[in-house]
Every structure is written in structure tokens, then in C-alpha cells.
Amino acid sequence: MTTVVIAGAGPTGLTLACGLARQGVAVRVIDRAARFPTGSRGKTLNPRSLEILADLGLGERLTAAGRTHLPFRKYFEGRFVNETEPFAGAVPTAATPYAASLWLPQTRVERLLRERLAGHGVRVETATELVDLRQDGAGVEVRLADGGRIAAEYLVACDGGRSTVRGLLGIPFVGVGDPEPAMVCGDVEVEGLDPGAWHQWFGPGGAFMLCPFTGTRRWQLQSSPETDADGRPVAPSLEGFRRLAALHTGRTDLRLSNATWLSTWRVNVRMAERYREGRVFLAGDCAHVHPTAGGLGMNTGVQDAWNLAWKLGYVLRGLAGPALLDTYQEERLPIAAWTLDVTSAGMAAVMDGAATPGVGVEAGGVGGLTGLALGYRWSSLAADRLAGAVRAGDRAPDGPCAGPDGARARLFERFAGDHFTLLGLGPGARPALAALAALPGHVRPVPVEDPDGTVRRAHGITGDALVLVRPDHHIALTARPHDHAAVSGYLASLGA
């Protein structure tokens, strides 16, 4: 029997599938589309998502495919105003290996994730549409449009804002939406424009933007919609894109051609009332949709999947009790609520500034968009016995340490995988690690001598300490070395 069925093969579903498959969980990924999408859609991975995907083995391939620094070149009523770069001067640090977001179209992210998943022996099943489901205390039965059925222990819905699964479960999708399109989008080839910047034209008449992608002639176009004589929005088309370009840029030398992925975008700010119904979970756009400001859509879905993957895997592998699954909603639903709030505020800031020369989409860049500061301090999984700047529930910082062979390594290299990591910070922590030598196999002890205090400063900890890090890189527990029994007590509390 399949252990987990994932409905939806976007970044959320694929990240979850990779996270489960590498734990040895039998997973099937189904998608109703007959072909994989080719449109750019989402176009940035923030630093936290890059850390996650690097753990899955995609770090170098992603950074080679995208770009980390992209200037925003802004125009007002057709005239150049200024150029800014949100991550100018951002460089990796000991605690943060990815200092800037990566500009990369979603279609390429999905392709790399599918290739990674195939390495685990799992391939996406296209043209496979879920139309119904039944569940009981023992499992879930997924019913397909072709009459087929799949029996599984769990189902995870990653099937987007118009989720079939969420509708079948009757879970309210609470919020507001505008029936009229706020933006038309598409991928086009552009001649006559410098591909070294994201060009943004603003003015009283609306906005028109062209964003280039590395290694291709294609650009992503976003624009206020064209309207007809009665003020009704006109469906996107190449000719319409050309008219919009002329209207907003005032230029006659721009040549747009080969338009694909013609789409419209409507403002929707909605969140599922709950993320779980029995043996069915919601993740990604299925659980929350919000404005595009800050580029958090794809990232929030990837981070949902990362939170759920280790928990679902641990329960299925017998390393934790079923109650661990309740912490998925406990931790991720407040993050979704925060995301809806900040992206709504960001979109309002962009719209309010659209009639002001020099204002561009970075006006929507409210705090927290790197994802590095987001954590779960409120979680029942967070256990602090030390007072530090970094607390249980927070993302664990990277830093220098010794590898298994004694060679120089980084903490993130030791975190990579599906285990807990027990850091012994400072020489005084070594006896505590020795006393905990009988820890379960899914806990990796890592002594960190930290002679110059780099790692302890990143954690805001003075003196020697124990830091237990979860498989998703969030801190589970902090304690002094003499309190090492707290570590074994914490692991026992997971209920395995």
C-alpha cells in the first residue's frame, strides 16, 4: 500500500515528496495536468527556502541556474527615475549561507525537484485527477477520475488555491477576494531592453513590469490589465501586451514576441480554517493565498512542506507518536496568518506609492521576507532552559564546526538529512555528549569546540551549552551541559 499520496506537483508537493522519499516513505505524487507547466509563475526563492532545498541536495544546481542580485530599474510616466537593488552588499556570513533571494522561475525549480525525486525512484503521475476521497481511522482511499483508486495511510493536498481536496473536506477558505483581475501576466521574448535589470514602469495609469531570467531570452511580464471601451478587462494576448508596453513605457523600440503562459491574477487573501482533517493535510496555496508582494507564495509552500515532511516521516517510521502531526497546524497556521497580513500591507504600499516617482515593488518589502527570522517559539515542541537571543523554535544558525573526520565543516552540513542534531557547544559539553552516548540512531551528536565563540555568539549563548536541533533546522531545546537528562526527556516526549 502507498503510504502517502500527494495531490499536486508544484513546489510544495515536490518538496514534501522529496522529504518523505529520502526517509524511505512510499509516496505517490499525482497531478491532474496532462503536462508539466512551462510558465514562469513564481520567480524568487528566499534565503530560507534555499537552505531547505540545499538540504535536499539542490543548493549548487539552484544557484547555478538563477541569479542573486537583480537591480530594480524604475520609471515614472515613461522616464527613468532611479535604480535600486534590495540585496546590494548582502554577502554570506558564518550564520547565514544564503544572504540574498535567488531569481529563478518556478518552472525550473519544479524541474530540479522532479529530477531529485526521480533519484529516489518516484515520478510524478500526470493526467491523474483526484475526484473524491474516503477516510477512516486506518487510512485514506483516493478516487480518481479514470475510476482508479489509491489506498494510503495519509493524503496531503498541495493542489492549489482552488483545491479539490479542501472542497471535498468542507474546510472553509476564509478571507476576501476580488472577482476582477488586478494584473495580466505572461512570458515573452523582449528586444531592445537591458536584461541586467527588472524594469518597472509606474504612473497614475498603473504599472507595467518586465523581469528577465538568466540563461533564456524569456522575460516575465506583469501589467495592470488592459480595458475595453466599457472599462471591462481584456483577456491577455501578445497584441495586448504590445499595446500595454507602448502605453506605459512610451517607447517604440521595444519588440515583444512569442508570448506564452498568458494569465490573469486576482487579489485573494484567504486561509484555510484548519490544516488537517483526520488523515488529510493541506499545504501551500491549498491552505493559504495572498498578494504577490514580497514573493512569498512559492516560499511559504516550500516551508509548509519542510515542516510536515519530517513529522509525517517520523510518525510513519515509528520514531514519534501520532500527536506530533498536530504540531504541523500549530506551527504553520500562524505563519500563514502573518504572511497574509504582511503581503496585504506590502501590496497596499506598492499601490499607494505607484503615483510617486521612484517607488517600485520593493515598497512591498516589509520585514521578514528572507524567511530567516520566522520560527515557532509558541510551539509545544519548543523547550528553552537557557535565555539566549536565539530560542527554541527559532531557525538554528549555521556556523563552523568539525566534520566527522575532523576536517573543517559547517553546521548545516551536519544538519543535512532527517535526524535531530545535538550540538555540544564548548569543551565543557563533551562529558554531556558522552553521557548521552546511548541516544537513538536518529539523533546525531556534534561536538563544537567553538574556540573563538562564533557559534555561541550566533545563538546568543554564553558559556557551554547543549542545543538540540530538529530535522527542519529549528531549535527544539537549549540547556546547560549538566542538564543533559533534558535531552533524553525531550526525545521521549515525542512518543515513540
| Span 415-470, pLDDT tens digits | 999 999 999 999 999 999 998 888 888 999 999 999 899 999 999 999 999 999 99
pLDDT at residue 44 in the model: 94
* pLDDT mean over 13-24: 98
Separation between Cα atoms, residue 327 and residue 204, nearest integer Å: 46
* Partners of 135 in beta bridges: 140
Share of the chain above pLDDT 90, in %: 77
pLDDT at residue 363 in the model: 56
Q: Is the pLDDT of residue 367 over 70?
A: no
Tell me whether strands 276-277 and 280-282 are parallel, antiparallel or unpaired.
Answer: antiparallel
In the chain, % helix, strand, coil (3-state, to 5) comes to: 30, 30, 40
Phi/psi-derived region of residue 284, left when phi > 0, alpha when psi is between -120 and 50, beta in every other case: left
Domains detected in the chain: 2-66+104-176+268-364 (3.50.50.60), 67-99+179-266 (3.30.9.10), 383-493 (3.40.30.10)
Contacts of 361-366 spanning 24+ positions with Cβ under 8 A: 361/72, 361/198, 361/200, 361/209, 361/293, 362/72, 362/84, 362/86, 364/291, 364/293, 364/294, 365/86, 365/293, 365/294, 366/293, 366/294, 366/342
Q: Cα 46 to chain center, whole Å? A: 8
* Partners of 186 in beta bridges: 221
Separation between Cα atoms, residue 81 and residue 203, nearest integer Å: 12
pLDDT at residue 244 in the model: 95
Q: Is the pLDDT of residue 358 over 60?
A: no
**What does the mean pLDDT of the chain come to?**
92
Indicate the pLDDT class of residue 352, thresholds 50, 70 and 90: low
Give the phi and the psi of residue 54 in degrees, each rounded to 5.
-65, -40
Q: Dihedral, CA atoms, 104, 110, 112, 114, nearest 10 degrees? A: 180
Q: Cα 289 to chain center, whole Å? A: 13
Share of the chain above pLDDT 70, in %: 96
Q: Is the pLDDT of residue 114 over 60?
A: yes
pLDDT at residue 280 in the model: 98
pLDDT at residue 478 in the model: 95
